[in-house]
A and B are shown apart, each in its own frame.
Chain A
Amino acid sequence: MSVLARIDDLHVSFGGVAAANGVSFTVEQSEFLALIGPNGAGKTTVLRMVAGILRPDSGRVFLADRDVTDLPAHARVRLGLGFTHQIVRPFYSFTTIENVMLAAGHERTENPWRAIASRSRLEAREKARAVLERVGLGPQAELSPRALPLGQRKRLEVARAIALDPRLLLLDEPLAGLSSAEATIMADLVRTLPAQGITVVLVEHNLGEVLRVADRLVVLDAGRVMAEGAPQEVMARADVRQAYTGVV
C-alpha cells in the first residue's frame, strides 16, 4: 500500500500546555485508521490540524506527497480531504438533500465566476440522492435537518463529506451521542468507505466499535504517539491499556 497522508512532527500549544507534542504518523491508501487515546490526548486537535482548521505551531502535513500545511481548510477539501465535525453542522436553511447537493456540486463552487455561470442543479441532485440512499437517508431527502434525530444528522454529515469524493475522510467522533443501535449503523456505514476508495481516519471513544472496524490504530497520550499497529497487537500492550483504560 502507498502512503496517502503523512503527518510529520506536529506541535501545538494552548496557553503553554502542549496539546500535540511531536505527533507523527502515516495514513496508507484505502486503510481504515483509528486515532484513539484517553480524554485530552490530543486526538481532535491533531485531526483539526490535518483538516486545516487549526494551524500547528510547527510540523508539516502532507497529502499524497503535497505539503498542505499552509493551505486553508477549504483548499484541502478541494485536494480530496473531507472532514466531519464532532458536533454536527448541517445547513439548517437547506433541506437534507440540498445539504448534500452543495457538496455534490463542489466543482461548480470552486470560484464565484464558475458558480455564477452554472445554473443546473439536476446532476448534483441525482448524485446527492444516490449518496443519501447509500447512507440510508433516502426517505428523509426533502426534510429539514431540524426534523432529523441526531443519528440521522450524523449520517447527513457523513453523506455531505462523501459527496465531495474525498480521497481521505477525517471523522471526528461520529458515534458520540448515539445509542448503541445507531452507533452500529454508523460504524457499519463508515467501515464500507475504504472499499469505495475513501481512506478513513477516525477519532472515536467507542472502543468496541473502533476495534470492530479499524485496520490499524494510532494511540495518542498527552500529545504524543504512544503506539501504532494492528488493533489486537496495540491493545495487548500493557502501557496502552494503562494509559487508555487505567487497567494494567
Chain B
Amino acid sequence: MSEALGEAWFSALGAPLGESERAEISGYLLGIGLPGSLPVRAASSWREAAELCRHPADEWWQAEEAERLRLERSARLDPANAAWLQVTERLHGAAAVAAARAGCADAALIRVAAGSATYAAYQQRLAQAAGSPSEHPFLRKYALFCGGRWPLGVYEERFAIF
C-alpha cells in the first residue's frame, strides 16, 4: 500500500495528453464495456473539472460499479485500516497542494478530487487483491491518477480527464 504514497498525484492536471495516456484511456473504457473510441475531453481548469463532474454520469458509473461488485465477491478490504487511511490522507494533501498551486481554495472541490483518487485507489487495491491482470481497467485508471491526472468519467459520450 505504501507505493501509493510516492506517486505524483494531481501533478499533471491540464497538461496536454500523451499517446500513452490516450492508449490507457482507450483500454480502460474497453475494459469496463464502453467503446474505446469515445472522444476525449481534456479539462483545463479546476472550475471546468468541477462543472463536468456535477453532471450525472450513470452509465459510466454503473459500468465501474458492476466490476467493483464482481471483484468484491472474491476480495474484501477494510475501509478503516490504518495504513489505508494514511493513503487517503496523502491523497487529500496532494489534491490540496495541486489546487492551491492553481489558485483554487474550494475545500469541497479539493475533497471531491481526493475522494475520486481514494475511490480509484480502492478499486486498484481491490483488483490486485482479486488477482486481476495488469490490463484490468481499474489498474489502467489508477495508472492515469499515478501519472498526475484526474480521470473524471464519461459525460455525453465523451471521456473527460483533467
A binds B: no
Binding site for B on A (CB under 8 A): none
